Amino acid sequence: MINYSKPAMKLKIFFPGLLSGAIVFISSCNKKDTQAPPPDPCAGVNYTILSTKTESVGVSNNGTLTILEPRGDTISYKLNTGSYQSSWYFTNLAPGNYIITIKNQKGCTDTAQITILNYGPKYALVKEIIKGYCGPCHRNGGMDGGKNFDSDINIINNWDRIKARTVDGVPSFMPQAPNSPLTNVDKQKITDWVNAGHRQSD
Ligand code: HEC
């Protein structure tokens, strides 16, 4: 979406009273400007806004947002009603929905929407393990054993099988995975999340 607001081009000139004796002459003129408006400098300007984020963990409001595209000297960025900044990196974000607005040197703007989620601290650790050790087989579309763990809901719904295959080794630890079995520290993180209730908020 491109937003560019032109100043109102309608010109209205009004000559008020001209008083002469008992006769009142009112002369008015309502003139429309017939000149074409200047060309819209934002016409055809369209950005693909690409970004990556990290979620906010616990109550720390520590989400981050990195704008990957567009970047450049003349591009500035803002979130919601904040002020424009030249940095494409935002930190200390609370969970919630955000409108990213980018602006170029001509003042043309474009927007995109993102959501910063709230992860419980135990879940955040499990998510890191899965990102680190379960790809490519179960990540980025990978579906080995019919399981994909790209989305939070798929991880949460498979909490029991994740624990079985990484902590308990039932029926076996992931045989092909290079980091299988996990370290005891990583196994403990999965166990702690499962015991806490295996939710996104745990
Ligand atoms: C190198 C590839 C590879 C990696 C890495 C890998 N897996 Fe698997 N996974 C497989 C294959 C192949 C199967 C199907 C065969 C089987 O079940 O052993 C499977 C099946 C599964 C299943 C479904 C079967 C069941 O027992 O419910 C789960 C759950 C699973 N993996 C969890 C994980 C987790 C969690 C990780 C990361 C810690 C992981 N896997 C890492 C290849 C992999």
The Cα-based distances of 2 to 5, 69, 97, 107, 110 in angstroms read 10, 16, 20, 10, 5
Q: Best substitution site from 166, 174, 182, 191 to test ligand 1's pocket, by max atoms within 8 Å of Cβ? A: 174
What's the whole-number mean pLDDT along residues 169-192?
93
Tell me the domain boundaries of the chain.
Answer: 50-118, 120-196
pLDDT in the model for residue 89: 98
pLDDT in the model for residue 35: 83
Each residue's pLDDT tens digit, 74-117: 999 999 999 999 999 999 999 999 999 999 999 999 999 999 99
pLDDT in the model for residue 2: 52
Each residue's pLDDT tens digit, 16-46: 444 444 444 444 555 566 788 888 889 888 8
Q: Is the CB of 145 under 6 A from ligand 1?
A: yes
pLDDT in the model for residue 29: 52
pLDDT in the model for residue 30: 56
What does the chain come to in residues?
202
Please check whether residue 201 is in contact with residue 120, taking contact to mean a CB–CB distance below 8 angstroms: yes
Fold assignment, 50-118: Immunoglobulin-like (2.60.40)
pLDDT at 148 over 80: yes
pLDDT in the model for residue 34: 72
Q: Is the CB of 147 under 6 A from ligand 1?
A: yes
What is the Å distance from ligand 1's center to 86 Cα?
43
Please check whether residue 23 is in contact with residue 87, taking contact to mean a CB–CB distance below 8 angstroms: no
pLDDT at 135 over 70: yes
Do you find a cis peptide bond into 171, omega within 30 degrees of 0?
A: yes
pLDDT at 66 over 60: yes
pLDDT in the model for residue 179: 83
Closest-CA residue, ligand 1 atom 27, reads: 161
Task: Phi first, then psi: give them for residue 67, nearest 5 degrees.
Answer: -85, 120
The Cα-based distances of 131 to 4, 66, 90, 173 in angstroms read 41, 18, 22, 17
Task: Please state, rounded to an integer, the average pLDDT across all residues of the chain.
Answer: 88
Q: How confident is the model at residue 14 (pLDDT cuts 50, 70, 90)?
A: very low
Burial class of residue 172 in the structure, from the number of CB atoms within 10 Å of its CB (0-12 exposed, 13-18 middle, 19+ buried): exposed
What's the whole-number mean pLDDT along residues 121-140?
96
Q: Which helix (H) or strand (E) holds 152?
A: helix 152-157
Give pairs for 74-81: CB < 8 Å, separation 24+: 74/104, 74/105, 75/102, 75/103, 75/104, 76/102, 76/103, 77/101, 77/102, 77/103, 78/103
pLDDT at 150 over 50: yes
pTM comes to: 0.79
192: tokens are 């702690």
Q: Is the CB of 101 under 6 A from ligand 1?
A: no
